[in-house]
Amino acid sequence: MSRASRGVPAATRRDRRSAERASPRARHRERPSIWRGPLPYVAAIVLIVGAIVWSVLSSRGGPAPTLTGAASAAVVASVTSIPADVYDTVGSGGLADPLRATTFEMLRGPSGLPLVIYVGAEYCPFCASEKWSVIAALSRFGTFQGLELSTSSSTDAFPDTPTLTFRTASYQSTFIELSAIETADRQGRPMANTTPVQQAAMDRSDPQSSIPFVSIAERHVAVGSGYRPDVLVGKTWTQIAEAMRDPSTPLARGVIGNANWITAAICEQTGGQPASVCASPAVRSLAVR
Amino acid sequence: MIGLVVTGAAAALISLYLTITHYGGAALVCVPASFVDCDAVTSSSYSLVPFTDIPIALAGIGWSVMSAAGGVLALRRDPPWLRPAHLAWAGAALLFALYLINAEIAVIGRICEWCTALHVLIVATFFLALSRMR
């Protein structure tokens, strides 16, 4: 028995001890709790505000990426000459068919070949992503001249997405014809009006005139990007061109998978020509779906 | 405690709407503004649970229903484990919401107002759960 407890009746001491054992909350109340003060609230507010401020600051990236002329030519050469085994390995890339079949008659170009139409704009981020696939696919049927590098708008969604532009491009093929237009530059300033043929195709299949608009001889049409454009974010043209050749990358599955769907739709209009492209495993597997 | 039920129910309704539009392919009702683009956000890979094709909104329904159920349980019995469990549940959602907010602002460059409404409800749930720890 301690000196301090002398003189206190034993029954009272027992009562006090049992009361303390029976009520741990009462004992807890006597101690300061971290949950009772402002600290948790302040910490949470600092975390939330800090995270948002950090996001805003990191969104203000540097200037749009630029490339030298030689590097630009290397990117264009890479994108327009992707090996066939890359297309075959990627297949659909896990993408659902981005093209919608129509009941329209096949649309032919001035020389009687199936006409592929592309309508987009340089500022448009979804056009930026779609063009990588369109150019890769069309390069299997013909040859581009005058493709240049560009980026989407700095102030739109997915700002400064690297891409290529049809601004000064021409296309030669013995299987299809291409009618491509960039209606505005990357600042959104008008550059060109759609031709009557392009506009008529849009009016029939894309009444809201959404871009990008891709028409494969009016038998298949796509509005919007066939894959998620964020796979391109933060990459340079060179990195994108390299990743397109690596079937294991999410970027290749998006860009090449979409290109394979476009290729399969074109092959349907060319009667399976050229066989080197249209008889490939990837195209055949997508064509039978 | 009724606040937890209300925020959970509201979050479940918004998540349900986002899930329906995801699978239905319909466009979200979204007020046009220079920094708002629901399609850009919901068509990005950030709208899916990482490494899956499951829309985050579907996971959001599960989170919201559980949070609302926790609120109902708190109203009825309020077992001792519920308060820290609810705080951890809300804290995990808060961290994921901050990740998504970063994706919207820093990567996509646009926000989705429905997603933002959900984020606000998650923050509210977190502070309600935090206040119950007193």
Cβ distance A158 to B107 less than 8 Å, yes or no, reads yes
Q: Are residues A238 and A146 in the same domain?
A: yes
* A52 in contact with chain B, both atoms CB, cutoff 8 A: yes
Q: Looking at the 3D structure of chain A, how many domains does it have? A: 2
> At A16, is the secondary structure helix, strand, or coil?
helix
Query: What's the pLDDT score for residue A128?
Result: 97
Banded pLDDT at B10 (limits 50, 70, 90) = very high
* A46 in contact with chain B, both atoms CB, cutoff 8 A: no
Query: What's the pLDDT score for residue A31?
Result: 57
* A-chain residues near B93 (CB < 8 A): none
Q: What is the domain partition of chain B in residue ranges?
A: 2-131
Q: Give yes or no for residue B119 having a pLDDT over 60.
A: yes
* A-chain residues near B129 (CB < 8 A): none
Query: What's the pLDDT score for residue A246?
Result: 97
Between residues A10 and A129, the one the model is more confident about: A129
Q: Are residues A273 and A140 in the same domain?
A: yes
Neighbouring CB atoms inside 10 A of A226's CB total 26
User: Mean pLDDT across the stretch B20-41?
Assistant: 85
Q: Annotate B46-93 with DSSP letters as a single string.
A: GGB-TTSS-BHHHHHHHHHHHHHHHHHHHHHT--TTHHHHHHHHHHHH
Task: Let me know if residue A131 belongs to a domain.
Answer: yes
Residues above pLDDT 90, as percent of chain B: 67
Cβ distance B127 to A41 less than 8 Å, yes or no, reads yes
d(CA A23, CA A280): 78
Return the residue of B nearest to A60 by Cα. Answer: B106
> At B42, is the secondary structure helix, strand, or coil?
helix
Q: Report the first-to-last Cα separation within chain A, whole angstroms.
A: 90
d(CA B104, CA B86): 27
Query: What's the pLDDT score for residue A3?
Result: 41
Q: Give yes or no for residue A2 having a pLDDT over 60.
A: no
User: How many C-alpha atoms does B18 have within 13 Å on its Cβ side?
Assistant: 28
Q: Are residues A28 and A108 in the same domain?
A: no
A30-61 confidence digits (pLDDT tens): 556 788 788 999 999 999 999 999 998 887 65
Q: Are residues A193 and A118 in the same domain?
A: yes
Residues 181-220 of A with CB under 8 A from B: none
DSSP label of A4: G
The separation between CA B25 and the C-alpha centre of its own chain, rounded to angstroms, equals 20
Cβ distance B98 to A47 less than 8 Å, yes or no, reads yes
- The CATH architecture that domain B2-131 belongs to is Up-down Bundle (1.20)
Encoded amino acid at B31, one letter: V
Residue of B36, B43, B134 to mutate for A, most A C-beta atoms under 10 A: B43
* Closest CB from A41, A230, A250 relative to B130: A41
- Distinct helix (H) and strand (E) counts, chain B: 5, 0
Query: Which residue has 């466009």 as its token pair?
Result: B27
Q: Are residues A109 and A250 in the same domain?
A: yes
B60-74 confidence digits (pLDDT tens): 999 999 999 999 999
Banded pLDDT at A1 (limits 50, 70, 90) = very low
Task: Let me know if residue A77 belongs to a domain.
Answer: yes
Q: Are residues A201 and A140 in the same domain?
A: yes
Tell me the two tokens of residue A1. Answer: 């028995």
A80-116 confidence digits (pLDDT tens): 999 999 999 999 999 999 999 999 999 999 999 999 9
Count interface pairs A-B at CB distance under 8 A.
65
> At A40, is the secondary structure helix, strand, or coil?
helix
- β-bridge mates for residue A120, sequence order: A182
Query: What's the pLDDT score for residue A7?
Result: 45
Query: What's the pLDDT score for residue B3?
Result: 92
Between residues B45 and A227, the one the model is more confident about: A227
The shares of helix, strand and coil residues in chain B, as percent rounded to the nearest 5, are 75, 5, 25
d(CA A90, CA A249): 10
Which of these ranges, A74-78, A132-136, B52-56, has the smallest mean pLDDT?
B52-56
Q: Are residues A124 and A11 in the same domain?
A: no
Q: Are residues A51 and A180 in the same domain?
A: no
* B45 in contact with chain A, both atoms CB, cutoff 8 A: yes
DSSP label of A179: E
Encoded amino acid at A42, one letter: V
* B37 in contact with chain A, both atoms CB, cutoff 8 A: yes
Q: Are residues A39 and A147 in the same domain?
A: no
Cβ distance B102 to A54 less than 8 Å, yes or no, reads yes
CB neighbour list of residue B6: distance below 8 Å, 6 or more residues apart: B71
Q: Are residues A27 and A135 in the same domain?
A: no
Q: From residue A112, give the alpha-carbon distance in Å to each of A105, A107, A108, A109, A116.
A: 13, 9, 5, 5, 12
Which of these ranges, A17-31, A170-184, A185-199, has the smallest mean pLDDT?
A17-31
- β-bridge mates for residue B55, sequence order: B48
Handedness of CA B6, B9, B12, B16 (dihedral sign): negative
Cβ distance B109 to A159 less than 8 Å, yes or no, reads yes
Tell me the two tokens of residue A94. Answer: 């896990």
Q: Are residues A222 and A169 in the same domain?
A: yes
d(CA A159, CA A114): 34
Distance from CA of A34 to the nearest CA of B (A): 8
Neighbouring CB atoms inside 10 A of A238's CB total 17
User: Mean pLDDT across the stretch A52-78?
Assistant: 80
Domain that holds residue A51: 7-59
Distance from CA of A59 to the nearest CA of B (A): 4
d(CA A267, CA A216): 10
Q: Are residues A173 and A114 in the same domain?
A: yes
Query: What's the pLDDT score for residue A65?
Result: 63
CB neighbour list of residue A255: distance below 8 Å, 6 or more residues apart: A129, A132, A133, A136, A227, A231, A240, A244
Banded pLDDT at A18 (limits 50, 70, 90) = low
d(CA A183, CA A189): 9
Q: Give yes or no for residue A16 having a pLDDT over 60.
A: no
Q: At what angle do helices A125-138 and A69-79 cross, to 10 degrees?
A: 60
Return the residue of A nearest to B106 by Cα. Answer: A59
A204-245 confidence digits (pLDDT tens): 999 999 999 999 999 999 999 999 898 998 899 999 999 999
Task: Let me know if residue A2 belongs to a domain.
Answer: no
